[in-house]
Chain A
Amino acid sequence: QKEVEQDPGPLSVPEGAIVSLNCTYSNSAFQYFMWYRQYSRKGPELLMYTYSSGNKEDGRFTAQVDKSSKYISLFIRDSQPSDSATYLCAMSAGNQFYFGTGTSLTVIP
């Protein structure tokens, strides 16, 4: 079983839609949870990170962590064509980081 599972998509939504991206994990020791956005042929960039359970909001983006269910989510409100990218979740316990395979998102104008 992989440490982190992420649906690869692809996911295609109309502009303005609310997007929900999700990951599940198996290691209960994970404490830090991150979301990265990766444009084609570029390196990932850190979007948000949260510690332990709860919600964190940054503009149109909301990260949610449910440690009891081992489930994390990223919500994108009022999605824009510029949000079209691959989104990777990541989580860590200590110095070890584990990444999901990424979900490809296309926002159609």
Chain B
Amino acid sequence: DGGITQSPKYLFRKEGQNVTLSCEQNLNHDAMYWYRQDPGQGLRLIYYSQIVNDFQKGDIAEGYSVSREKKESFPLTVTSAQKNPTAFYLCASRRQDIYGYTFGSGTRLTVV
């Protein structure tokens, strides 16, 4: 079955550490997205990529970095510069000619 796989499901980060969240899709979708979800704030766009080797900042890109070396993969690195990283992170993808995302099951990141 086609879909988006996010790993790990739960992740704990110590202060000052960088961590990388994985996102892989086998839907052959061109565009991929990273969102952050906090209670009461809805989904906020971190980064998105329309094609391989190209990506754009979203509304809250500071403290995050991404890469898009393969169509199937769009990993997100949460750097130590992100001061409040505890949140639920969602990866999504979509075909360019269809409206509506397919979302992964999310990664819950907690700073300890």
Contact = CB atoms under 8 A, between A and B. Distances in A.
B64 to A, nearest CB: 18
> Interface centre among A88, A100, A102, by most B CB within 10 Å?
A102
A98 B106 CA distance: 19
Contacts of A49: 99-100
> Interface centre among A32, A42, A97, A101, by most B CB within 10 Å?
A97
In this complex, the interface size class of chain A, counting residues with CB under 8 Å from chain B, is 20 to 34
Q: For chain B, what secondary structure do more than half of its interface residues adopt (helix, strand, loop), or is it mixed?
A: strand
Contacts of A97: 45, 101
Interface string B37-76: 0001111010000100000000000000000000000000
Given A44-B90, A95-B50, A100 B42 contact: yes
In this complex, the interface size class of chain B, counting residues with CB under 8 Å from chain A, is 20 to 34
B99 A92 contact: yes
Q: For chain A, what secondary structure do more than half of its interface residues adopt (helix, strand, loop), or is it mixed?
A: strand
B100 A46 contact: yes
Interface of A: 4, 6, 8, 32, 34, 36, 41-46, 49, 51, 88, 92, 95, 97, 99-102
